[in-house]
Structure 1
Amino acid sequence: MRSSSWEARLESSARSESTVIRAACRLSFQGAIRSRAGRGPGYDPVVLSRLDLRGADADPRVALTPAATDAGPLDAVHEIIAAVRAGGDGAVRELTERFDGARIDDLRVPADEIAAASAHVDPTLRDALVHAAGRIREYHEGQAAVPEAVGIDRQGVSVTERVVPVDRVGLYVPGGRAAYPSTVLMTAIPARVAGVADLALCVPPARDGSVPAVTLAAAGIAGVDEVYRVGGAQAIAALAYGTETIGPVDVVVGPGNVYVSLAKHVLAAAGVVGIESIAGPSELVVVADGTAPPDFVAADLAAQAEHGPGGTAVLVTWDVALADAVDAALVALVDAATRREEIRSTLASGGRTVLVRD
């Protein structure tokens, strides 16, 4: 399967989702502005650090190049992969308890629990998932309908590109303190449209071993065959090598933290499993002028920053007034956010405003 079919996004659906998120953020922004007056002296607002390149002689590529990644995560990933390869289910359970604080007896979520999940999801959200699934499916069906690409080189030799689905795909969906049903839809549905026979999904469990109902509901809507309560690098290793419970897959897709991304990279480089891309940690650059609504810009930055540590959220602008307004909007928005600590942490280490010449 072409990797682009995994990475494609339905533009109209993305615009609709972005509009809803921004509207919600605008309400949160307005409400938080009214509630900030009573903050005490220990209050620490989120403000993006600034890099002014308008008159700088320094190469901006040098100024913006992130620090080298610590070798610690890579070493840890190698150890996790080796443990899962040697220990199977037992190693997966041990690692899940160590990293997620969850004791899991049955790694696989029962089929009846997946089927019943929709009843535990707000009807409006369930309808939105069904609608999004339809739009995503429609887009990828259009891709699948494109005939085989044929090219002719200068010597008159015909070269044909043919897309053939693999047999079994592993889907990784982040979890833990947040749920990402859209990731379920955007990884599972293209695979189904392409003709992949079996879909196995891994998601980190909560401390009580549960998986969010909305994630399971999305899995049911998308036609996922198997769901496992496993996250992190151990999930990628289990999908790649297989265990007593989890069958090996041909390709692993889906975003994750630095450990998930490194595990995908290591296993793909070793030829153990295919991957679509290294997706994560999240990186976002917003380029905006003075006409941009500050709370919209703040919402875009915060939406990526909430995904967790190691992310990058950068605003590039030549309008100082906009930069100031985005700082104020971020303070208000983060105050009102459920995942405020994750956002603050990411913006503190990877958030920046870059001032450039018009």
Structure 2
Amino acid sequence: MSHILNKKFQTALIHAPRKAPQYISSVQPPLFRASTIIFENTDALFNRHWTDPYDYSYGTHGTPTTFTLADQIAQIEGGEYCLLAPSGLSAINLVNSALLAQGDEVWVPDNVYGPNMEHLRNLEKRYGILVRVYNPIDVTSFTPSEHAKLLWLEATGSVTLEFPDLVGLVQKAQAQQILTVLDNTWGAGLAFNPFDFSDEHLAVDISVHALTKYPSGGGDILMGSVVTRDLQLHHKLFHMHAIQGIAVSGDDTAQIQRSLAHMSIRYDQQAQSALKLLAWLKQQPQFSQVLHPCDPESAGHEYWKQVCTTGKSAGLVSVIFKPEYDLKAVRKFCDHLNLFKLGFSWGGPISLVMLYELNHMRSLKNTHLQQGLLVRFCIGLEDAEDLVQDIQNALKQLE
């Protein structure tokens, strides 16, 4: 009390005379919110470097909350180092910005995540980066020149769900010293280990993950991650991360951290529901093709089987309507779904549906895809039988 009396009231409100112990053992780790971080003394201020494993200097560099989640994501994906970004797309853009320069060649799969391609085309137009497209299930279509610096991989493609020839593509890239970066949002570090996915212990150089999806699990948090095993590469990415001022909220970080404990349970349940849906969808006469990497008839199935030795797959399945169903009809189908909500993303508790016109999304001729409009189902945590009934009811609107 005497300390309070020795300070003016306003000062005492800011510099509290009593301070409770700052750490207890609890189920969830404490949440740190910080922009400014207080240095204990000038030694702590000057005897530090941004490359220190835990550089507590400013909120954008990290707090115990963000570093803890980063360590967990690195562990889940089989990596060593992890950077967090405000979204999956932000994580993608960080990689492109850090590793590509004028005249460099970057290769992307024909089923690349659309916003990634948009960002690369913007870099191509403004800074002279060369963007090349390959067929993810045909290694021979990947023909890098001496200027190739980066190969983007998606396992699977987020709309048509082809699993790429990951082994063949990475081997070819490594032979020419081209960095490989995998969008691992579908696998989430659970379907396979991106840093050890073959008998030869092949590894990608970078794994990018939209934590918005399965790690969050609630459909309410945006975040992304960039995981590596190479310290020098991590520092190169971290330097761009720092100068661009990339940072994440402590509150959002804590929310994702809270969801990690049951991520694999949710992943498995949604995957099993998707397989039940797959079996039923294949029997429906309205569809010319049903796309899922576990299905032997889907493109890339043999590569999924080769890499995903866990037998795991995400809770996504796509269908292509027969050509007689025009855009008006397929829109009517989507609008009459009840449990499936029209929205982007996946991995949350509510099942989602999205309609795509593939002829607007592809630059190569894909002989493995039928002509028609594509609908992607992203399975939530509802009962699979209810989801089947929902689709069945909507299909009746097309009769």
TM-score > 0.5, shorter chain as reference: no
**Using CA pairs below 8 Å that are at least 6 residues apart, which structure has the higher relative contact order?**
1
| Structure with the higher helix share, 1 or 2 | 1
Q: Scaled by the length of structure 1, what TM-score is found?
A: 0.27
Q: Scaled by the length of structure 2, what TM-score is found?
A: 0.25
